[in-house]
Amino acid sequence: MSTLPPSPSTVYTGPFGEAQATRLLWRAGFGPRPGDAERLARLGLDAAVSSLTRPAEPAQLLDRPPHDDKGHPLDPLNVWGQDHCWWLDRMVRSTHQLVERMTLVWHSWFATSEEASNARLMINQNWTLRRNALGNFHQLLSDVTIDPAMLLWLNGNTNNRYAPNENYGREMFELFTLGQGRGYDQHDVHQNARALTGWTNDWSDSRGPINFRFDPKLHDDGVKRIFGQTGRFNWKDSVRLAVTHPSHPSFFVGKLWAYFVGAELPARTAHELELAYVRSGFEIRPVVEAILRHPLFYEGPRLVTPPVVWTAGLLRASRQTITTTDWAWIAQLTGQVLFQPPNVAGWNYAQWLDTSRWAGRLQAVNTALARHTLDGKHYPFGIDETASQAYEHALAFWGGQPLSDTAQRHLLKLSRRFARGQHQPWQQVPFRNLRQNALRALVPMTPDWMTA
C-alpha cells in the first residue's frame, strides 16, 4: 500500500512495467542494478516512487568500499581527483539513490567549485546538500548562503559594510530563487548585498580558510529597501525575502521540473505544483513526488543522461565499485567533474553529447571493461554460441537492460559478421572473445543508454 499523500497534480495511469521503472531509476537515481527494474515494477507506481522519496531504512553503502589503483583507501581531502571518486562511489553504492541524485541537482543549482576553496570545504557542503536533499528549500537556501565554500566562491566572506560585494546577492536572485530579471532590479541587488554583509573568516597556513563566522561589526545594520519592503535586514531576512517573493514558486517548480522531465511544463501543472509548494511551507519532497508521478515523466521525450550519472550507471549495472581513480580524469573527458562545475550557473544539461564528450564516454566504457576483457584460451559461453546468444550475453553483462529495435538490429548485424569466414578451430575462441568484447563495448554507447 502506498505511503504517498495524494498528488497535487495529474498522476500517470498507464502501464508501470520494467520500461517505466528503468526510466524512473535513471532519472531519480543512477540507473538500475541487475533486477532492480523488475523489483520496482512489481511495486506499482506509487510504492515505487515512495521507495525512493521515503526510504524505510537509513542510507547504506553496499558492496566493497572504494580504493585507488594500488588498493589503498581513497583520500578525498588530500589527493587530486579522489573527491570526485568519493562521491561517485556514493552514487554507485548508496541505497538512497534519489537523495544522491538530488544532492547532484543542488550541486548544479547552487554551483560551487573547489577552485575557490578546497576539498574539505566542498565535501562539507556536499553533506549539507545531502541533508537537505528532500527537505525544506528555505532551510536549504539558508544553509547554502552561509556555507563556507559558497562564501568563498561568491565573495560572501569579503562582503562587509565598508565595501558591499554584490556577487552572492545577485546570484541568489538570478540563479537560485527568482530567475533573471523576474521581479527585482539593480537597486534590490545592491540592497540585498548590504543585508548579506558581516561574514568573514581566518586563514591557516596548513588548513587554508578556517573559522567562518558572522561579525556584527562588519554588518551594515542600516535601513534597506528590498522588493519594496523596508527594514534593517540581515542575511536571514535576505533569504526569507527571496523565498517569499511572488516570483519564487514558479522559478522553483520550473527549474526542478527541467531536471526530471523533457517535456515543457504545462501551465495547469505549474500552477498546481506552485500552490502545493507554497502551502507546504516550501517543502521539496512533495513537489518531487508529484513530478515523479506525472504522466509526462513517463510519456514525454527522453532526456540525455548526464555523464556522471551514466558513469555511475555503468558500474551499477555491471556490479562494479570504485577500484581506480582513473574516473577523475575520465570525468574531465566526459564533461562533468564533481566539485568543479564550469561556472556559477552550473552545468549546461543541453551540451552533454558533442563529439569530444562522446569519445570521453567511450573511454569510460573501456575503463569499466578493463578487468572484464575476454582474451583467454577458452571462451566462457562456448564456441557454438550463436550471434543472437552473443548479443544476449553482452546485454546480460550490463544488467540486461533491453535496447531499441534499431540498436538491436545493428548489434546483431555486427555479431553475425564476426562469425563469417572463421572456420578453422584455432579461430573460434579468439573471434568469439573479440565479438563479445566488441558487443560489450557498444551496448552502453547506444542511444538507449545515453538517454532515459
3-state secondary structure 79-100: CCCHHHHHHHHHHHHECCHHHH
In angstroms, what CA-CA distances link 327 with 36, 108, 172, 181, 366?
A: 24, 20, 32, 39, 11
Q: Can you give the pLDDT at residue 426?
A: 72
Q: Please check whether residue 40 lies inside any domain of the structure.
A: no
Is there a domain that residue 25 lies in? no
pLDDT (tens, 9 = 90+) of the chain, 452 residues, equals: 457 999 999 999 999 999 999 999 999 999 999 999 999 999 999 999 999 999 999 999 999 999 999 999 999 999 999 999 999 999 999 999 999 999 999 999 999 999 999 999 999 999 999 999 999 999 999 999 999 999 999 999 999 999 999 999 999 999 999 999 999 999 999 999 999 999 999 999 888 999 999 999 999 999 999 999 999 999 999 999 999 999 999 999 999 999 999 999 999 999 999 999 999 999 999 999 999 999 999 999 999 999 999 999 999 999 999 999 999 999 999 999 999 999 999 999 888 888 889 899 999 999 999 999 999 888 999 988 999 999 999 999 999 999 999 999 999 999 999 877 666 767 788 899 999 999 999 999 999 999 99
CA distance 277 to 17: 30
User: According to the model, what pLDDT value does residue 253 have?
Assistant: 98
Does some domain include residue 330?
yes
Does residue 416 share a domain with residue 348?
yes
- Residue 238 pLDDT: 98
Angle at CA 312, nearest 5°, toward 140 and 295? Answer: 65
Classify residue 38: in a domain, yes or no.
no
pLDDT score, position 376: 84
Cα 85 to Cα 88, 222, 325: the distances in Å are 5, 46, 6
Give the pLDDT confidence score for residue 237 in this predicted structure: 98
> What per-residue confidence (pLDDT) applies to 353?
86
What per-residue confidence (pLDDT) applies to 351?
82
Taking the C-alpha atoms of residue 394 and residue 168, their distance in angstroms, rounded to an integer, is 49
Pairing of β 208-214 and β 229-231? unpaired
Instruction: Give the number of domains in the chain.
Output: 2
Structural domain including 399 reads 307-450
Task: Examine the domain organization and report whether 171 and 63 are in the same domain.
Answer: yes
Residues 132 and 253 in one domain: yes
Which cell numbers hold the place of 139?
A: 532551510
DSSP tag of 94:
B
Same domain? For 206 and 102 the reply is: yes
Q: Within a 10 A sphere around the Cβ of 332, how many other Cβ atoms?
A: 13
Asked whether residue 130 falls in the same domain as residue 243, the answer is yes
pLDDT at 2: 57
339 and 396 belong to one structural domain: yes
Per DSSP (E only), the strands in 307-365 are none
